[in-house]
Each structure stands twice: as C-alpha cells, then as structure tokens.
Amino acid sequence: MHIQIAAVGKLKEKYLVLGIAEYAKRLGPYVKLTLTEVADERAPETMSAAEEAIVREREGERLLATIKPDAHVIALALDGELWSSEDLAGQLDSLATYGRSHVAFVIGGSNGLAPAVLKRAQQKLSFGRMTLPHQLMRLVLLEQVYRAVKINRGEPYHK
C-alpha cells in the first residue's frame, strides 16, 4: 500500500521532525510512505474572510497538484467522521482489498482546507472537536497509520 500525507507548511520543530522520522522508519517495512509538504501562503496575522478564502484556495491548489488521480483521498477536517484506531485499520484494509492501494491523507494549513480539496476527497476524517496545530497533526496521523497497520497484521503495537 502507498500512503501519502500531503500537508501545508514545512515542519520546523525538531521534536516533530524526529517523531515523524521515527514513525516513517517503523512504517517502512509495511507501506510505501510519501510525505509531501507544500508551501503555506504568506498572509498577515489578521485577514478578512475573503483573504482567508484566497489563502485556502492557493494552498489547496498546491495540495491537489501533489495527489495522483488514482489516489483515494481522506481529508482531515473538523467536520469529518470520528474513527477509532480499529476503524482506521478497517478502512485501510478495505481500500487495499478493493484495489485502492494509494491513499492520500490531506492536512490543511492554519486556515483549513479549500473547498476544491474537500470536493476531491472521498472521505473526511476528524480526530475530534479540539483544534490541533496542523504540524502536530502529521505526527498524530502517522502514529495512527502505524497503529492501523499493526492492527491489520495482527502484530503487537510497539510502544
């Protein structure tokens, strides 16, 4: 299976870079993993709703350009479905079983995802109603993908 995580912004914090590298290493024997970063749009701290929409649109265009046409897209969104780790494992297993072996998870920037990205997504996933920094979300998502792979293989989770 090919798992892609496409996200807005470059990781800066060392602890996040190290954590992501650790889970990427753990996933290596099981999946082909692609981590894609697109530039976030430069914008002032305070913006009008119209300016925020433009930022989302530009970042969305960059994200969509990285996703292959045959990818099954799962957008991370506050209004997405709530899945347990077992639900995620089941979703990935089902996608692989039915020939959808390229799964792209998409994480927006601080202003969220563009409507075009949400339209391209076949599913929307939420990790809860709390807002998490989009950079931290990459690490949380990778950990959950690793956990899902271990669940599907019937292997113990390495803590």
**Residue 127 annotated as part of some ligand binding site:** yes
**Residue 19 annotated as part of some ligand binding site:** no
Taking CA atoms, 156 is separated from 78, 146, 149, 152, in Å, by: 30, 11, 10, 10
**Residue 66 annotated as part of some ligand binding site:** no
Report how far apart the first and last C-alpha atoms of the chain are (Å, whole number): 23
Phi-psi region of 26 (alpha: psi -120 to 50; beta: other; left: phi over 0): alpha
Phi then psi dihedrals of residue 58, to 5 deg:
-65, -45
**Residue 142 annotated as part of some ligand binding site:** no
**Residue 76 annotated as part of some ligand binding site:** yes
Rounded Cα distance, 151 and 93, in Å:
10
**Angle at the Cα of 28 from the Cα atoms of 22 and 29, rounded to 5 degrees:** 130
**Residue 132 annotated as part of some ligand binding site:** yes
Taken as a whole, the chain contains a residue count of 159
Q: Are 141 and 76 in contact (CB under 8 A)?
A: yes
Q: Which residues are annotated as a binding site?
A: 76, 108, 127-132
Q: Which residues are annotated as a binding site for S-adenosyl-L-methionine?
A: 76, 108, 127-132
